[in-house]
Amino acid sequence: MDKIILWSLLLFFSGNQALRTEAQKNAELAVDLYKAICFSHKNNIIFSPLGTTVLLGMVQLGAKGKAQQQIMQTLRMQESSSGQEFSVLKPLFSAISRKKQEFTFNLASALYLQEGFIVKEAYLHGNKEFFQSATKLVDFLDAKACAQTISTWVESKTDGKIKNMFSEEEFGPLTRLVLVNAIYFKGDWKQKFRKEDTEMTDFHKKDGLTVKVPMMKALLRTNYGYFSESLMRFQVLELPYKADEFSIVIILPTEDVNLEEVEKRVTAHHIQRWFSELHEEEVEVSLPRFKTEQKLDFKDVLYSLNVTEIFKGGCDLSGITDSSEVYVSRVMQKVFFEVNEDGSEAATSTGVNIPAIMSLTQTQFLANHPFLFIMKHTQTGSILFMGRVTDPDIQAMKGRDLDSL
């Protein structure tokens, strides 16, 4: 009996260690991607490290040689091409694929290949098993029909929230393989913000201007921490979603700290420290309501991370198809993410409205200037979304892609 107990404990701790290791890799990739993206975008940004892992994993599963090595280095994978490393994502995929009343999480990933190429059966099986992703053949020569086909598929997989993923101008006669990632999330807060407590409040943008934004307010008992390091001082607040499957972590620099300094210095170690060292506290929370939708072409981002081979003619993708003419033409991700007051049923709400005269001893979290945010999966610690809000008014009111603003 003692041997059985010991063996069970070994399995338990080895499983937990695997989750911690993957969480560390995920955090390192998230930071790499964030730094590559944030300095080329002036305003709000949002992307999905999980979605990017899926996209790169889909290619890695069929890549060989230099193309495979570059992806494995970026994903911090061991020297193996079996794809078994991605099996740790199954608990997460299982959680997000379940339709629950508390949340909607749609992750739609697909590999689109030019008609005429034959996809290997082993690749089709592995792509579906590890990533729950589709592999489809289209005719990129008919750019208009192709754009419509992919956009319609994405719209159907994201409950109609993500529309017009592609236009015909994005495909041409040399397009061979396109990777598509579309992610939509909307969840109910575990502790509700009452809509009647939301009021228009000043938000001080990065450029020094001030705008009025809808500011949600509540007195919440939740995880909180204050961190002070070299040139970085900030508050960190965790807001769980109903059912405790997911939570959003807000990183708010103090008013005298420039957001760019935090962005330059943040590391995966910082993120994991925030996740582990937060403590439960009663906090007066003021958080702007915002909705953001962003489409990113990851080619330049991946180039900066030294993933270059897959974009070159002659790269070895022989695990996908025997043709030597196939290479990746585009890697596109589009995210729709919303933060508002919607939460639990009023009868079960644990949020408390803030009195007009606030307690002087109460911890206050006033997000009235730019901040970072991370949404994570509670069980695995995987970072699903990461981004920043420099102006809540941009997307909340206009709902357009950032690069068009």
* DSSP string computed for 55-101: HHHHHHTT--HHHHHHHHHHHT--S--SSGGGGGGHHHHHHHHS--S
Residues 40 and 174 in one domain: yes
Location of structure tokens 């750019």: 143
- Based on the fold, state whether residues 232 and 300 are members of the same structural domain: no
Lowest mean pLDDT among 5-19, 82-96, 219-233: 5-19
Q: Are 311 and 327 in contact (CB under 8 A)?
A: yes
162 inside domain: yes
User: In the chain, what percentage of residues exceed pLDDT 90?
Assistant: 53
Which CATH number belongs to the domain containing residue 264 in this structure?
2.30.39.10
User: Same domain for 109 and 200?
Assistant: no
Q: Residue 400 pLDDT more than 80? A: no
| Same domain (yes/no): 245, 97 | no
Q: Quick one: what percent of the chain has pLDDT higher than 70?
A: 83
Same domain, 77 and 121: yes
* pLDDT category of residue 230 using cuts at 50, 70 and 90: confident
Other CB atoms within a 10 A radius of the CB of residue 312 amount to 11
Query: Strand 45-47 relative to strand 371-377: parallel, antiparallel, unpaired?
Result: unpaired
Is 11 within a domain?
no
| Residue 399 placed within a domain | yes
Q: How far is CA 128 from CA 105, 148, 339, in A?
A: 18, 23, 31
pLDDT at site 23: 80
In 3-state terms, what secondary structure has residue 79?
Answer: coil
Residue 317 resides in a domain: yes
Asked if residue 7 belongs to a domain, the reply is no
CATH number at residue 155: 3.30.497.10
- Looking at 338, 361, 396, the residue that finishes a domain is 338
If asked whether residues 155 and 269 sit together in one domain, one would say: no
Q: What is the pTM of this model?
A: 0.86
Domain assignment present for residue 54? The answer is yes
Mean of the per-residue pLDDT values for the chain?
A: 83
The H-assigned helical ranges of 209-350 are: 259-265, 268-277, 299-304
Q: Are residues 31 and 103 in the same domain?
A: yes
Name the domain boundary from 338, 359, 374. 338
Residue 260: domain span: 195-290+340-404
Give tens-digit pLDDT for 272-297: 988 899 999 999 999 998 888 889 99
Whole-number pLDDT of residue 399: 35
pLDDT of residue 97: 66
Same domain, 87 and 172: yes
Q: Is the pLDDT of residue 397 over 70?
A: no
Which of 338, 373, 395 is the endpoint of a domain?
Answer: 338
Our count of domains for the chain comes to: 2
205 and 156, same structural domain? no
Please check whether residues 366 and 223 belong to one and the same domain: yes
348 assigned to some structural domain: yes
Residue 15 lies in a domain: no
Q: 216 and 111 in one domain?
A: no
How much is the pLDDT for 355? Answer: 46
Model confidence pLDDT, tens digit, residues 296-355: 999 999 999 999 999 998 899 999 999 889 999 999 999 988 888 874 333 233 444 444
Amino acid at 315: C
Is 220 found in the same domain as 88? Answer: no
